[in-house]
Amino acid sequence: MALSCFHCHPLPYTVTTQRHTTPFPFSISLSSTFKFSSALSSSTSTTHHPLPPDFSPSQLLDLIRRQPDESSALRLFQWASTQPNYSAQPSIFHELLRQLARVGSVDSMLSLLHQMRSSACPVDESTFLIFLEAYANFELHGEINAVIDCMERDFALKPDTRFYNVALNLLVKANKLKLVETLHSKMVADGVAPDVSTFNVLIRALCKAHQLRPAILMLEDMPNYDLRPDEKTFTTLMQGFIEEGDVDGALRIKELMVESGCALTSVSVNVLVNGLCREGRIEEALRFIYNEEGFSPDQFTFNALVSGLCRTGHIKQGLEMMDFMLEKGFDLDVYTYNSLISGLCKLGEIDEAVEILNHMISRDCSPNTVTFNTLISTLCKENHVEAATELARNLTSKGFLPDVCTFNSLIQGLCLTSNREIAMELFEEMKEKGCEPDEFTYSILIESLGSEKRLKEALMLLKEMEKSGCARNVVVYNTLIDGLCKSNRVDEAEEIFDQMEMMGVSRSSVTYNTLINGLCMSKRVEEAAQLMDQMIMEGLKPDKFTYTSMLKYFCQQGDIKKAADIVQNMTSNGCEPDIVTYGTLIMGLCKAGRVEVASKLLRSVQMKGLVLTPHAYNPVIQALCKRKRINEAMRLFREMMEKGNPPDAISYKIVFRGLCNGGGPIQEAVDFTIEMLEKGILPDFPSFGFLAEGLCSLSMEVTLVELINMVMDKGGFSQSETSIIKGFLKIRKFDDALANLGAILDRRKPRRF
């Protein structure tokens, strides 16, 4: 609520100090306070009575406290204040102020304060403390200085050290560190002497602001005020160092604490134990506990140890520590249970994590959103989306409200398991339940729709994001640009690209690379080159993906000179070509018929220490096979097996085709077929057909049958498919057997088993 001025705020209701008899609009029984209270609840009575002569302020206070809400309490008070025997009491005003403060009725509080003054009711610091709490609770921290101004100007009250401490503490809790500085300056200017609590609050403020050096200086300044740091002073500093990730600094503060004669308490020890555990220094934490005389580990200590063990991957020890805690009568808190559940989930131990959840509930420790989201997210990642959905439904029926993280996990899991329609239904349900989708929700769905080329729906989601005010990040735009480019809708992709600038979304290297690749695929290489220049102008450095897109275009066009220029530019601009770049250039050279140059480049790349991949070898092997230079091709193939990455299915397919098309002895082709099948790679049928024809012409039908049986076995043919083919083989109808085999192989892609 915006306030015009604390000390001159307009009154929301009429306040009168004149005392006269005004009938209260409810019946009053004079026999007892209880009857009087009962009468107040009946608005149908027509009997009106004044306050009884013996009705005390304490009875009125009790009645005010019994009212169902602050409005009723205020009406009762306003009526009572008009009665002849009413006397203004601070306790009554304070009770009303507290009730109004709970609901944030600041206007009414201010009016009541002025009524206190006009009725000559004593106003002291405790009155204004109620205002401090109210303003802090409703985030009106900027008005706290106005409270002090009002005290001094309108009520001639000077805030003391305690009052300033309360105000400073409320500001520090709310992280209003600038206001803390302003208020402390006023405290000093007013000559109010600080005490230990003042220093503790200020040190905590400095620690929150990550200003540890000034916090230490403030500690050192305390003796100048004849003050000694207490346990809270040192513990606050320890916590500050721990939050900065400097546990050793916290341990130095502990030594300083001991040297100053201030004994460690369980709180300070636990702070250090927690800090050590957060850093994974579990053994050190245990030694510290053991060596600290007079310290008995409590529930906080054990919780810190269990969480630390889980955080460092020692889940088994964490579970053992949990059992030890329970034996000693300690309970785990929800954060510790969450650490155990999270640790088990990271190890993929879902069943054990669910057991911990059930144990947690049996110990009357209520799971929170983090608990359920951890389990649901893990189930989705493990492709147990149905189980995750069921868990979410069960939890919802028990009063658990799923948040955006819950929905995101489920939607992502459904998309990854190709249940996109259900994911969209859940997305709609999410909105119906009042849970606003975030940018991650939209990113998941847009990426999923883009992968299915359902770009119209993806673009509609982008518009929905705009209408809902949801921030659109670069990932969302990149996903759409990629989908449009892959669907050959490059003009629309350029529109999305331009839209990013208008919406204030910074374009990344991925954005540029995606569109540059799309333009190159659409043979719009000049536009791609202009876009690369724009990329550099925006301060982004072209990387290997940028250059490779253009390189691939020139290689496909057979323009080796320009392709070589791209590689040269790439190197001169400090972007070292990788094996993908060289592989693309080798492919271009082979396509242009320059196999010898490609072979030399292959050797040159090898000399650079790069591990050659099938992407680099395959074009050269294929070119050699086409030229019937099968021996050279086989040498490269075997070299790839020994020195490079293992050959892929394409490598085997190239060599197999070369051998079967008359590139070498038929036995070599047979042996290679067996080798290929043992790797789990099925042959393509046209080449296998050539091999079968050759085997039959050489009366090697037995070998052919063995190969066909091996293909069926490795290919996982069904029983009916196998029976038909074997039937034809048995009666030596090889053409029919091969025809059926070919039909089945045509429906299958080469794959590994």
Which long-range CB contacts under 8 A does 604-612 form with residues at least 24 apart?
605/579, 606/643, 610/578, 610/579, 610/582, 611/579, 611/644, 611/645, 612/579, 612/640, 612/643, 612/644, 612/645
Q: Is residue 653 part of a domain?
A: yes
Q: Is residue 335 part of a domain?
A: no
Residues 22/25/30/35 CA torsion (nearest 10 deg)? -150
Burial of 266 (0-12, 13-18, 19+ CB in 10 A): middle
625 and 668 within one domain: no
Burial of 283 (0-12, 13-18, 19+ CB in 10 A): exposed
Q: How many CB atoms lie within 10 A of CB 705?
A: 18
CA torsion through residues 386, 387, 391, 394, sign: positive
Residue 541 is predicted with a pLDDT of: 92
- Vertex 118: Cα angle to 113 and 119 (nearest 5): 95
Distances (CA, A) of 453 to 447, 449, 480, 495: 10, 6, 10, 18
697 and 632 within one domain: no
Residue 29 is predicted with a pLDDT of: 31
CA torsion through residues 113, 114, 117, 119, sign: negative
Residue 693 is predicted with a pLDDT of: 86
Q: What is the pLDDT of residues 2-34, one digit of tens each?
A: 333 444 443 333 333 333 333 333 323 323 333
Query: Whole-angstrom Cα distance, residue 433 to residue 24?
Result: 46
Query: Whole-angstrom Cα distance, residue 522 to residue 595?
Result: 27
Q: Is residue 133 part of a domain?
A: no
Q: Residue 337, SS3?
A: helix
Cα 600 → chain centroid: 49
654 and 632 within one domain: no
pLDDT band at 621 (very low <50, low <70, confident <90, very high): very high
607 and 671 within one domain: no
628 and 694 within one domain: no
Residue 249 is predicted with a pLDDT of: 95
pLDDT band at 52 (very low <50, low <70, confident <90, very high): low
Asked if residues 117 and 123 have their Cβ atoms less than 8 Å apart, the reply is yes
Residue 215 is predicted with a pLDDT of: 94
Query: Whole-angstrom Cα distance, residue 596 to residue 310?
Result: 59
Q: How many CB atoms lie within 10 A of CB 572?
A: 8
Residue 661 is predicted with a pLDDT of: 81
Nearest CA to 583 among 523, 534, 638, 645? 645
Burial of 273 (0-12, 13-18, 19+ CB in 10 A): buried
664 and 734 within one domain: yes
Answer yes or no: is pLDDT of 221 > 50: yes
Rank 84-88, 366-370, 452-456, 617-621 by mean pLDDT and report only the highest.
Answer: 617-621
Nearest CA to 67 among 94, 105, 24, 38? 38
Mean pLDDT score, 474-503: 90
Asked if residues 121 and 90 have their Cβ atoms less than 8 Å apart, the reply is yes
Which residues have a Cβ under 8 Å from the Cβ of 713 and sit 6 or more positions away? none
Mean pLDDT score, 168-188: 92
Mean pLDDT score, 450-472: 85
Asked if residues 95 and 79 have their Cβ atoms less than 8 Å apart, the reply is no
Q: What is the mean pLDDT of the chain?
A: 85
Residue 744 is predicted with a pLDDT of: 85
Q: What is the pLDDT of residues 293-323, one digit of tens each?
A: 778 888 888 888 888 888 888 889 889 988 9
677 and 617 within one domain: no
Domain tally, the chain: 2
Q: Is residue 177 part of a domain?
A: no
Which residues have a Cβ under 8 Å from the Cβ of 198 and sit 6 or more positions away? 161, 164, 165, 168, 187
Mean pLDDT score, 450-477: 86
Nearest CA to 197 among 171, 237, 229? 229
CA torsion through residues 533, 535, 537, 543, sign: negative
Answer yes or no: is pLDDT of 742 > 70: yes
- Vertex 640: Cα angle to 639 and 643 (nearest 5): 75
Nearest CA to 564 among 540, 547, 579? 547
Which tops the pLDDT comparison, 17 or 333? Answer: 333
Domain end marker among 647, 670, 698: 647
719 and 643 within one domain: no
Query: Whole-angstrom Cα distance, residue 710 to residue 682?
Result: 10
Residue 642 is predicted with a pLDDT of: 86
Domain end marker among 609, 626, 647: 647
Query: Whole-angstrom Cα distance, residue 590 to residue 597?
Result: 8
In 660-718, alpha helices (H): 666-678, 685-697, 701-714
Q: What is the pLDDT of residues 548-601, one digit of tens each?
A: 999 999 998 888 899 889 888 898 888 888 899 999 999 999 988 899 999 999
Q: Is residue 284 part of a domain?
A: no
Query: Whole-angstrom Cα distance, residue 738 to residue 725?
Result: 8
716 and 668 within one domain: yes
Mean pLDDT score, 390-404: 84
In 417-543, alpha helices (H): 420-432, 439-451, 455-468, 474-486, 490-502, 509-521, 525-537
Tokens of 362: 């049996």
Q: Is residue 657 part of a domain?
A: yes
Domain end marker among 619, 647, 675: 647
Residue 411 is predicted with a pLDDT of: 92
608 and 687 within one domain: no
Asked if residues 585 and 601 have their Cβ atoms less than 8 Å apart, the reply is yes
Q: What is the pLDDT of residues 676-708, one digit of tens each?
A: 999 888 888 888 888 888 888 888 989 989 999
Residue 447 is predicted with a pLDDT of: 86
752 and 737 within one domain: yes
Q: Is residue 292 part of a domain?
A: no
Asked if residues 415 and 427 have their Cβ atoms less than 8 Å apart, the reply is no
* Residue carrying structure tokens 């045509």: 746
| Domain extent for 727 | 649-753
Q: Is residue 735 part of a domain?
A: yes
Q: What is the pLDDT of residues 96-146, one digit of tens each?
A: 899 888 988 888 888 888 888 888 888 999 999 999 998 888 888 888 888
730 and 682 within one domain: yes
